[in-house]
Chain A
Amino acid sequence: MPESRVVVTGMGIMAPLGRGVSANHAALVDNRHGLGDITILNTIHRGSLPAGEIKLTNTDLASIANFQGENIPRSVLLSAVAIQEALASAGLHHNHDINFYYSTTVGGMDISEELNDKRLKGQDIDFSGFKYHDCGASTMLLGDFFGFTGRRYSLSTACSSSANCIGRAMMDIKTGRARYAVAGGADALSRFTLNGFNSLMILDKELCNPMDQNRRGLNLGEAAAFLVLESEENAVNRGAEILAIVSGFGNTNDSHHQTASSESGIGAVLAIREALNDAGLKAENISYINAHGTGTQNNDLSEGNALETVFGKVPPTASTKSYTGHTLAASGAVEAIYSVLAIKNQEMYPTLRFKEAIVGHGFKSFDFTIQGEVNHVLSNAFGFGGNCSALIFSKY
């Protein structure tokens, strides 16, 4: 059977830039970020560590999504809202044959950490609150909520998680193993991740400056983002609007360190080349790069080195983490949506607060003088464990 092209026909997002694709698009176009003081997460770091927090309580989210149940993880509630949007925009409903590809790193940690705190302080707790702790619990809750009848997958590769979901979904559509795929991921803010990144001393106490010589670290964010994928033929036959093509995917390992990237960025180089090869494109075909660009010393130096190795003359490159913060498992899917928006609207989103190129890098993020058609967008996502993933989206 010949392999068919895989297209995006639906998108849904809950992010610090707002609820829904159009709210996110408006913020990107207006260069408006969603970072600020933490007001919902119960942490001592309120007021000292800025984050991209979605300003809705779990009760708000449950009521928006019409999701009933006790102790439902925040990531699941964010996902439910985003998936509803993705399905509606693709014109799909639950009795279509949909495979579900979910990813998260925190799972039900937001609930577990509160309960365990109380437990250790000797308070009475309802232990059933722990039962949605694991990643697979979220997949099950969402699969059941939407009644997805196809296969339900879930994976967890730290900050590259949802990029890997999209990559696998793309492969399954291409080879006919799935007719429709809802693929993405979610991570709500949790004290666990906030304190974890803080203990690594890679959180910026101010608003982050990704890809900048004077970058100080990352801001965490929370989000849920999902894309609907199907074959071009299927989309054309049912008259669905095609937003973009998912044309390439690469997954490699940097094999350097559990939490740091190699200076050469060899893992990133290999992932990007694999994605280019998968898409049948050359480096010079890429019009715009959505960098992983977390804002840490290590990532941005390593990633920039990798981009120079692959591209020589690096095309316009920007990090939307300057708008959202680092949304961990969700970031690959959040930025996949931003990449599709860039293609659909023929625009690029500059790195906010950017002043000075990183010493040693021959490119700036973002060079406004370079403008042109946005035909192919590369989106990077790297994670702990040396996981490096690259996706390429192309104009339909």
Chain B
Amino acid sequence: MKAYINHINAISRYQYLEGSIIEQSEIIEPDYESILDVRAMRRLSKILKMGLFTALSVKNQANRQPDGIICGTALGCLADTYQFLKNMSDRDEQLLTPTAFIQSTHNTLSGTLGIMLQNHSYNITWSNREFSFYDALEDAIIRVNKCTDDHILLTAADEMPRQVAEIIDSIPLDCPVPINSEGAASFWISSRPAGISITIESILTVQTSDVIKIVAETSEKTIVINSNPFLSFTQTDRVHNLVNAHRSLIDDAFCLHVGCQLLSLCREKSNPKQEVLCIGGNDAFSSLVKISC
């Protein structure tokens, strides 16, 4: 396996700053207009704004067309989905306008990226609960491994509009942390290094019950960042839990983003080779993504 993360951008609750991982209770939104067209913005739902912003900024860093556009979203375009549902109830299935429906499909972001970039290449959207980003990442790695010069624009995005958050709050879920957060993260995955040149060493899924042992067996040089809310490790200098009061189903993407930030900062300080193990998943399965620089 040979794959690199060359450029990153995220709208996330997590930041790696001055040697530690900082968490905010809410995402800090960027100045979207620095990248997105102001007129187009008015028509965009938050998931599209966030996803387009991170994806286009990563694409701009790479400064070339991708050979594939791969997205992961667990809950899709919830705001437009909810809007169309509400219109349907309010108007008793009559005289409906199609705008919200058009923007409600899970692949709206990947499709919009295809149109905006005028990119005819591979285009797909994975949607698989806590594994939505993992499925997308694995797909990206498989594709760049097939060629010697292949570049994938990979994006995870989820939104949590207020009306849907109210519904989710009322669902009895068997998880210690409620699903109440949102954000987007993009990665430029390539078959050759450039930019921050983070190496993806390995990715795999395992039973969550096996993760404690796996982490215990990691070398002292491996930094562990956990975003699986069903796992909690004793916080040490090298083991971090991202999980507390907030959660999205694509937290593993933010976990990987923070891991990349950490490694690229390490390299700036010319530290020796370092590894980060990013953990995501749920009560049954966990995803393990190991990166290094």
Q: Do A and B come from one complex?
A: yes
Q: When the two chains form their complex, are residues B107 and A157 in contact, meaning their CB atoms are under 8 A apart?
A: yes
Q: When the two chains form their complex, are residues A252 and B123 in contact, meaning their CB atoms are under 8 A apart?
A: yes
- Give chain B residues whose Cβ lies under 8 Å from the Cβ of A234: none
CA A127 to CA B171, docked complex, whole Å: 5
- Give chain A residues whose Cβ lies under 8 Å from the Cβ of B2: none
B119 CB contact (under 8 Å) in A121, A255, A383: A255
Asked whether any CB of chain A lies closer than 8 Å to the CB of B148, the reply is no
- Give chain B residues whose Cβ lies under 8 Å from the Cβ of A355: none
CA A70 to CA B172, docked complex, whole Å: 14
Q: When the two chains form their complex, are residues A155 and B124 in contact, meaning their CB atoms are under 8 A apart?
A: yes
Q: When the two chains form their complex, are residues A155 and B125 in contact, meaning their CB atoms are under 8 A apart?
A: yes
**Secondary structure at chain A's binding surface: helix, strand, loop or mixed?**
helix
- Give chain B residues whose Cβ lies under 8 Å from the Cβ of A195: 84, 88, 93, 96, 101
- Give chain A residues whose Cβ lies under 8 Å from the Cβ of B114: 253-255, 385-386
Of the listed stretches B126-134, B222-230, B257-265, B271-279, chain A binds: B126-134
The count of residues in chain B whose C-beta lies closer than 8 Å to any C-beta of chain A is 57
Q: Contacts A127-B167, A158-B105: A253 and B69 contacting too (C-beta < 8 A)?
A: yes
Q: When the two chains form their complex, are residues A137 and B129 in contact, meaning their CB atoms are under 8 A apart?
A: yes
A residues 205-256 with Cβ under 8 Å of B? 251-256
Q: When the two chains form their complex, are residues A158 and B171 in contact, meaning their CB atoms are under 8 A apart?
A: no
* Interface 0/1 of A151-191, CB less than 8 Å to B: 11111111000001000100100000100000000000001
CA A257 to CA B103, docked complex, whole Å: 12
B115 CB contact (under 8 Å) in A44, A128, A171, A386: A386
CA A155 to CA B86, docked complex, whole Å: 25
Of the listed stretches A61-69, A74-82, A111-119, A363-371, chain B binds: A111-119
CA A45 to CA B92, docked complex, whole Å: 11
Q: Contacts A156-B76, A258-B111, A386-B111: A105 and B85 contacting too (C-beta < 8 A)?
A: no
Considering the complex, give the chain A residue whose CB is closest to the CB of B131: A136
Considering the complex, give the chain A residue whose CB is closest to the CB of B116: A255
CA A253 to CA B121, docked complex, whole Å: 6
A156 CB contact (under 8 Å) in B85, B96, B106, B120: B106
B128 CB contact (under 8 Å) in A153, A158, A177, A266: A153
CA A131 to CA B170, docked complex, whole Å: 10
Asked whether any CB of chain B lies closer than 8 Å to the CB of A196, the reply is yes
Q: When the two chains form their complex, are residues A254 and B120 in contact, meaning their CB atoms are under 8 A apart?
A: yes
Q: When the two chains form their complex, are residues B96 and A154 in contact, meaning their CB atoms are under 8 A apart?
A: no
Please give the distance in Å from B48's CB to the nearest CB on chain A. 11
- Give chain A residues whose Cβ lies under 8 Å from the Cβ of B111: 253, 258, 384-387
Q: Contacts A199-B101, A253-B69, A255-B118: A385 and B89 contacting too (C-beta < 8 A)?
A: no
Q: When the two chains form their complex, are residues A253 and B123 in contact, meaning their CB atoms are under 8 A apart?
A: yes
| Chain A interface residues toward B at CB < 8 A | 43-45, 105, 112-113, 116-117, 119-121, 127-128, 130-131, 134-137, 139-140, 151-158, 164, 168, 171, 177, 191-192, 195-196, 198-200, 251-259, 266-267, 270, 383-387
| Chain B interface residues toward A at CB < 8 A | 69, 74-76, 81, 84-86, 88-90, 92-94, 96-98, 101-108, 110-112, 114-115, 117-132, 135, 139, 142, 167-168, 170-173, 205, 249
The 4 A-B residue pairs with the shortest CB-CB distance, nearest first, are A385-B111, A136-B129, A196-B101, A253-B114
